[in-house]
Structure 1
């Protein structure tokens, strides 16, 4: 039987930590070893590979080109090994936890109402829904799969397009009472416009898409999530720009109205993002297929 050509796992763990922190001291603290022990392990790895992984000048270190390549390879491999280990440990008696990174409003309006059907199919899987809408980092956020808005550009992941969105201008009916009817987009300059902090160009995009010039804006509150913007609009705090599918209930019940008929395609789409390191895990595979089935 062919023997694997592999260095010690301890040396690899130490090298990965040193490369990530760019520091023997910080890596040693993380691994609960002495700095000299961490240094010896990295030296032993370099001796084994017969390749320098770091350049050392005074008290500073820097990855060599070979070291940079190897650190990425080792980091991905350890992520995969960790994911498999956690999966195996959490699968006792067929149970386990699936952590889903979710846009807050999308999760509330789209995912949660549908989630009982997943739980009926997989009753032993505990679903942990985590609010997640910043830079996508599966390791740091400790999530297994995510639904995000964007343009499908996430590296080292399996990307499934889910849906686009139509956006429209809405407000509380009370906001329009006693004022002249809105017939031109430019009239929005006399109203406060609620700003979406994570999509700061939304209003400019809307005016441009309907072939209109954006007027001088009287900004209202600046809010982070769609559910906040929805509530602010219902409260009469200003005009809001919202995806139609997220506010169907408010429109149907009259809490929000749309002063303009235009509904335009949003600047991105929703995607299901599965990291390569988690794509083969049974619970992740089951959830991914279930989400895709919801769109049929």
Structure 2
């Protein structure tokens, strides 16, 4: 940190720069911060002297960011937002600690959310914040302590705790099933197939498992299970969906199994966390809790 302090401008300089960069005006930035235009100008000049380069191009009564200034402004804005978020989180729960968790949307709403009251009852001092992420990210650049990951056991810089496997089944609306009269796996080749962007080869693997020869498998693409399931409910096609995520739709009859031929996905669900947070108490508590929940088999074959 002794070296880092040399490159750590004061908060007043950074706030003045962020406001001027966002508003593209020293005068407007001054009005927002209750400072004079000249005061903002002096702070920007002090920051430029510290950096050894100009951040703005000054043109008569107007200013605009340099190319390097635009990049710096974006990074400073993100850093200030993280500081503000950390402060808000601390004020909301100064004693128990906070866990910032990234979730997959359908898994989060269908499997995780109904179970969270149990975690919160058992850990009343912990504040849990949820945000959605569809794919792996760099924990060093995100203010997140952990993430639910579905895929291969591969996330650079992260520790992975195996949670559960998953079984998918071809599902569709009752009307579509009646119209096509599915009796054998090959019958599904004549139906519109719904594909998930995150699993582009799922149908190929399913037909191969059933021993059915197939050519190019075209159809609509979806980026989330929830929309794919809704598409199947509306009757536009057959989707390969995790049984444990569509239990309610199957129970209500909104969806039916086109054929009762499930397939275990090659991927798995994991709790991913940065190795630097391994001993963080809220994360440790959540890890122990979610592994126990997953061990109950809720995701294994439905």
Shorter-chain TM-score above 0.5: yes
Is the Cα contact below 8 Å between 1:101 and 1:147 reproduced in 2? yes
TM-score, normalised via structure 2 length: 0.68
Q: Shift of the alpha carbon at 1:216?
A: 4.8
Q: Hey, what does 2:192 align to over in structure 1?
A: 192
Cα RMSD of the aligned pairs, angstroms, is 3.2
Q: Shift of the alpha carbon at 1:35?
A: 5.3
Secondary structure in 2 aligned to 1:149? strand
Q: Shift of the alpha carbon at 1:268?
A: 0.6
Q: Hey, what does 1:8 align to over in structure 2?
A: 3
Is the Cα contact below 8 Å between 2:238 and 2:258 reproduced in 1? no
Q: Hey, what does 1:163 align to over in structure 2?
A: 164
Secondary structure in 1 aligned to 2:279? coil
Match of 1:37 among 37, 45, 50: 50
For residues 114-133 of structure 1, the aligned pairs below 5 Å read 114-133=115-134
Secondary structure in 2 aligned to 1:159? strand
For residues 226-237 of structure 1, the aligned pairs below 5 Å read 226-237=225-236
The superposition leaves residues 173-196 of structure 1 with CA deviations (integer Å, 9 ceiling, x where unpaired) of: 1112244x3233222232111121
Is the Cα contact below 8 Å between 1:251 and 1:257 reproduced in 2? yes
For residues 75-94 of structure 1, the aligned pairs below 5 Å read 90=90, 93-94=94-95
How many residues were matched structurally?
Answer: 236
For residues 143-292 of structure 1, the aligned pairs below 5 Å read 143-179=144-180, 181-219=181-219, 221-292=220-291
Q: Hey, what does 1:109 align to over in structure 2?
A: 110
Q: Shift of the alpha carbon at 1:149?
A: 0.6
Q: Hey, what does 2:28 align to over in structure 1?
A: none
Distance change (3 Å), C-alpha of 1:140 and 1:284: same
The CA distance in 2 between the partners of 1:213 and 1:243, in whole Å, is 24
Is the Cα contact below 8 Å between 2:204 and 2:217 reproduced in 1? no
The CA distance in 2 between the partners of 1:140 and 1:230, in whole Å, is 33
Q: Shift of the alpha carbon at 1:36?
A: 5.4
The CA distance in 1 between the partners of 2:8 and 2:102, in whole Å, is 27
Gaps of 5+ in 2: 10-20, 22-43, 54-81, 296-302
Is the Cα contact below 8 Å between 2:229 and 2:239 reproduced in 1? yes
Is the Cα contact below 8 Å between 1:189 and 1:215 reproduced in 2? no
The CA distance in 1 between the partners of 2:171 and 2:94, in whole Å, is 50
Gaps of 5+ in 1: 1-5, 15-28, 41-81
Is the Cα contact below 8 Å between 1:186 and 1:215 reproduced in 2? no
The CA distance in 1 between the partners of 2:106 and 2:179, in whole Å, is 32
Q: Hey, what does 2:138 align to over in structure 1?
A: 137
Q: Shift of the alpha carbon at 1:157?
A: 2.1
Q: Hey, what does 2:14 align to over in structure 1?
A: none
Secondary structure in 2 aligned to 1:152? coil
Secondary structure in 2 aligned to 1:90? helix
